[in-house]
């Protein structure tokens, strides 16, 4: 099963890989290169990163500030699997999806020229996710509830947030890499 976590360390490793890719691919680009669109109706690399920043900030503000790893013993062989609806959402927003999804206007950059801080902000957000991951265990993935930014009454499991965030980031990092190659 693709959208699951075998360990908390797996989530940390995936976030670290995303962070490294962002630094390597976008960290040394000029503002002009970051903002170059491959076509008038396509996002630039900077717009892709800003979209990810806006999305992640929505999740991060709803994650409880004081997460304590759930003290229940965790069966190490258990893998965390999201609920069916969230698994489908992760597949639709993930890196292998061919589905075009319109982004909510609140999660789209309205700036035609973003500066290089968009990359720094993206990297800082990855560090925030890593800080959260350091505080949790496998039980926390299911037991810590987080309000979905778009629908506050709809609670997600922390594991679902991590899986969706990782899949979504991989999708738009790939899109940003294509944008700078054009």
Question: Helices then strands (H, E): number in the chain?
Answer: 7, 2
Cβ neighbours, 10 Å, residue 171: 19
Q: Say which CATH number the domain at 157 has.
A: 1.20.120.450
Q: Does residue 96 lie in a domain region?
A: yes
The total domain count for the chain is 1
CA–CA dist 141, 125 (Å, integer): 19
Q: Does residue 146 lie in a domain region?
A: yes
Q: Does residue 3 lie in a domain region?
A: no
| 76-97 as b/e: b if 16+ CB within 10 A | eeeebbbeeebbebbeebbeee
Q: Does residue 170 lie in a domain region?
A: yes
Q: Does residue 17 lie in a domain region?
A: yes
Range of the domain at 43: 8-65+75-181
Q: How far is CA 51 from CA 4, 56, 78, 176, 180, in A?
A: 24, 9, 33, 11, 16
Q: Indicate yes or no: pTM above 0.95.
A: no
Query: Helix, strand, or coil here: 92?
Result: helix
Residue 67 backbone zone (phi > 0: left; psi -120 to 50: alpha; other: beta): beta
For residue 106, what pLDDT is reported?
Answer: 52
Query: Could you list the pLDDT tens digit for every one of the 182 residues in the chain?
Result: 477 899 999 999 999 999 999 999 999 999 999 999 999 989 999 999 999 999 999 999 999 988 766 645 555 557 898 888 877 777 777 777 666 666 555 555 555 679 999 999 999 999 999 999 999 999 999 999 999 888 888 899 999 999 999 999 999 999 999 999 97
Q: What is the DSSP letter of 142?
A: H
Instruction: Measure the CA angle with vertex 126, ends 176 and 112; round to 5°.
Output: 40
Query: Helix, strand, or coil here: 64?
Result: coil
């Amino acid at each position: 099963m693709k959208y699951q976590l075998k360990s908390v360390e797996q989530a940390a490793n995936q976030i670290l890989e995303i962070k490294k890719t962002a630094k390597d691919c976008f960290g040394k680009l000029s503002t002009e290169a970051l903002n170059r669109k491959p076509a008038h109706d396509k996002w630039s690399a900077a717009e892709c990163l800003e979209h990810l920043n806006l999305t992640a900030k929505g999740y991060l503000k709803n994650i409880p500030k004081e997460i304590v790893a759930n003290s229940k013993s965790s069966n190490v062989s258990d893998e965390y699997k999201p609920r069916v609806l969230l698994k489908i959402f992760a597949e639709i927003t993930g890196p292998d999806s061919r589905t075009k999804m319109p982004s909510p206007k609140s999660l789209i950059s309205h700036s035609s020229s973003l500066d290089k801080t968009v990359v720094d902000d993206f990297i800082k957000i990855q560090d925030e996710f890593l800080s959260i991951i350091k505080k949790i265990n496998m039980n926390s993935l299911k037991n810590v509830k987080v309000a979905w930014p778009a629908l506050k009454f709809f609670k997600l499991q922390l594991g679902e947030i991590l899986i969706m965030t990782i899949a979504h980031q991989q999708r738009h990092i790939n899109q940003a890499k294509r944008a700078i190659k054009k």
